Amino acid sequence: MNLFESVADTFIFWIPMYSEAKVAFVVYLWHPRTEGASYMYNSFLLPFLKQHEHEVDRCINETKTRCADLVASYWTRAMQYAQQGFMHALQNMPQPQGGNARGQPLANEMHEHAG
């Protein structure tokens, strides 16, 4: 509605009471007594959708496929990036000097110092 409204506003804003007519139309669509939205849907939108149902379904399926491909592509890129970052972190990790990860001397180093 915004696209239609912006185009219409550009060309017919000068008509007297145009803004009031827009408000009246929205009230007509919204108000339960008039059932304007149901009438507009059943008279205009539903026949259009039925006529173009196969095209709409095809577009929906194509969009689902494209979205799935896009998500898979970004997931693959993210995993590659994470793997590279992890490998980089492992390569740059400081190595322990003469001991294990807890800072205790290794068993063979203990025997060398004892003897």
pTM for the whole structure:
0.49
* pLDDT tier, 110 (very low <50, low <70, confident <90, very high otherwise): low
- For residue 58, pLDDT over 60 is answered with yes
Q: What is the pLDDT of residue 62?
A: 98
Choose the weakest-confidence range: 9-13, 79-83, 105-109. 105-109
**φ, ψ dihedrals at 92, nearest 5°:** -95, 5
Buried (b) or exposed (e) across 34-62, using 16+ Cβ within 10 A? Answer: eebeeeeeeeeeeeeeeeeeeeeeeeeee
Q: Does pLDDT of 13 surpass 70?
A: yes
Residues of the chain above pLDDT 90, percent? 59
